[in-house]
Amino acid sequence: MYFKNAILSVFNKKGIIDLAKFLISKNVKIFSTGGTYDILKNNNIEVFKISEYIDFPEILEGRVKSLHPKIHGGILAKNSDIDQLEKLNITKFDLVVCNLYPFFENVNKNFDTDSLIEYIDIGGPSMIRSASKNFKYTTILTDPSDYDSFMDNFENIDYDFRFKMAAKAFNLTSAYDASISEYFNNKSNIEFPDYFAISYKKEDDLRYGENPHQKAAFYKKNNGFYFFNDFETLNGKKLSFNNLRDVDIAWKTVSSFSDCCCVALKHNTPCGIAIGKDTLESFNKSFECDPVSIFGGVVAFNRTIDFETAKKLKDIFLEIVIATDFEDIALDLLKKKKNLRILKVNNNNFENREFISLNGGLIIQNTDLILNNELNLVTKKKNYDIDLKEIEFAFNCVKFVKSNAIVVCDGFQTVGIGGGEVSRIWAAEKAFERSIRQPKIMASDAFFPFKDVVELAYKNGVKIIVQPGGSIRDQDSIDFCNENNIDMYFTNMRHFKH
């Protein structure tokens, strides 16, 4: 492809001077606008001002510079259109170098809407889309990292290169528009718009996906600050696909508690959850629930890790440790395990929507952030004087276990967890089989279709049961509890986790 005329109009000026000098050395005529024109001129690069070429000034404080037929006609023209361009005195543009006003960089800042919308680019996306549509005849560059490749292959720029640059350009403008759309939808309280578009930027290519034969990449959300937008890796290797999934659930679990909490997690499922007076106690109690499964797992804290806790963690093979912060001496100690991934959490914000990918579809739902609508004793009398926070602790724990889920607790500590079963009684059997001691409280993520789970709880010494309620056979379970001095509480809210 032979290059004669180029438009350079960029907000991000990285590499633009070197590219412009290269183009001049190849006898390419450069046209430019605004700040790009100024920086090229100040570097003694021959450049033509677009406003002079189109014989129309930049107006509205520079908001309208390139929206003109002499610009878009020159970008969109095919070889068969050259005669028409000549009659209209329009220059054919073979190259467009353009990137956008920094909406991505400013959408998360504390700007009011009037200020933020000034970062919405109009002319830039228009030129990019025009050049991308006409990629057979016009090369588009939107990323400074592509300048070197363009210059290295200048004499041999082919269809494949132009197609790839067009794909990259459309990807940019679609993400840009999606970010703007998401901002306006959020401001308008539109949770489920007719067309769903959200904006993410690739953070890293992963070694592989869930299994070694699957490719994968990690993306961060452009709008908003949540865990994965804002965490810091203080030590260890890059996070893998499975690491990222585990980190997500571990942090969601532990951050749902206000008291000092620790969760141990393996294969996306908690194997121990506990609250303690400090990180050491909460870890010891969490570890005690399942000292086997924690091997090679993830441990998360909603507090700063101190030195005594770090000593305990160092003695166990763990993949990942997550905390809000680390004492300096604790961090130094943990860093001695060079492969241990250490993550520092910088915020506790939760997205209000979550997504499930289907084969050709997407399910969007509100994030499950509410624990219960109510906590009502449904048995005839209260047999046990217990802090209701203990009951809520058990129900909060079961919320993060895969359905069907049963969690048994003693105080603010899980002592047995059963989940991911197709039958609730099987989940209950697992929880009791694995229980490290006699539990006091049993929690279920959904109602009991039969009273068999309640009967099993009684055989294992459970005193208090908390469940959503809602079964047509609820009364059978309540009657059994009344007959056997078990307190049963309904929450009127289930927590399936598939």
- Active site residues per annotation: 133, 267
Burial class (CB in 10 A: 0-12, 13-18, 19+), 498: exposed
Which of 415, 428, 452, 474 shows the shortest CA–CA distance to 286?
A: 415
Instruction: Name the pairing type of β-strands 269-275 and 261-266.
Output: antiparallel
CA distances from 314 to 5, 268, 274, 321 (A): 62, 22, 19, 10
Contact 265, 250 (CB under 8 A): yes
| CB-CB neighbours of 5 under 10 Å | 17
Which of 321, 339, 345 shows the shortest CA–CA distance to 331?
A: 321
Q: Which two tokens stand for residue 167?
A: 């794909």
CA 371 to chain centre: 22
Residue type, 44: N
Residue type, 77: A
278-295 as b/e: b if 16+ CB within 10 A: ebbbbbebbbbbbeebbe
